[in-house]
């Protein structure tokens, strides 16, 4: 299994500011994803982080709000821009290898509160 380090683990931010979340994996993984889990809800995919190219965003999520970088196979960042209280959620990095018979693992998450 992959060991995933996600930073920060939690933060309280002022509305209108931005926060960048980092995800570091201990091995080269094919796929990296960013999910959001709003209070009391399940996980929703924000985007797939693609190495060396623009991320692939899901419906309802846009690059201007959630810019993502993935400079190599072990590292990715998600920025939550111009935050509002509605952005208060847990943000989770997930990794897997491409293929049918591969597992998918999650980082410990970033609990974001926007005030």
Partner 1 sequence: QKEVEQNSGPLSVPEGAIASLNCTYSDRGSQSFFWYRQYSGKSPELIMFIYSNGDKEDGRFTAQLNKASQYVSLLIRDSQPSDSATYLCAVRRLEYGNKLVFGAGTILRVKS
Q: Which stretch binds partner 1 (CB under 8 A): 17-25, 63-71, 76-84, 96-104?
A: 96-104
User: Residue from 19, 92, 112, 114 that binds partner 1 (CB under 8 A)?
Assistant: 92
Q: Select from 57, 61, 75, 105 the one that contacts partner 1 (CB under 8 A).
A: 105
Both tokens of residue 38?
Answer: 């709003």
27-66 footprint of partner 1 as x/- string (CB under 8 A) = ---xx-x-------xxxxx--x-------x----------
How far is residue 10's CA from residue 109's CA, in Å, rounded to a whole number? 8
Q: Rank residues 1 and 14 by Cβ distance to partner 1 and give the closer one.
A: 1
User: What Å distances lie between residue 57 and 9, 35, 40, 80, CA to CA?
Assistant: 23, 11, 23, 14
Buried b (16+ CB within 10 A) or exposed e, 12-50: ebeeeeebebbbebeeebebbbbbbeeeeeeeebbbbbe
Quote the least distance from Cβ 26 to partner 1, whole Å. 16
Helices of type H across the chain: none
73 binds partner 1 (CB under 8 A): no
Interface ranges with partner 1 (CB under 8 A): 1, 30-31, 33, 41-45, 48, 56, 90, 92, 94, 96, 98-109, 111
């Amino acid at each position: 299994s992959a060991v995933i380090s996600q930073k920060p683990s939690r933060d309280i931010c002022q509305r209108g500011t931005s926060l960048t979340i980092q995800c570091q994996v201990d091995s080269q993984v094919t796929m990296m994803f960013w999910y959001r889990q709003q209070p009391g809800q399940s996980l929703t995919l924000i985007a797939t982080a693609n190495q060396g190219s623009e991320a692939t965003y899901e419906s309802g999520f846009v690059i201007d709000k959630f810019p993502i970088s993935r400079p190599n196979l072990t590292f990715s960042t998600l920025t939550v821009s111009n935050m509002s209280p509605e952005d208060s959620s847990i943000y989770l990095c997930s990794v897997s290898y491409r293929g049918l018979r591969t597992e998918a693992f999650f980082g410990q998450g970033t609990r974001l509160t926007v005030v």
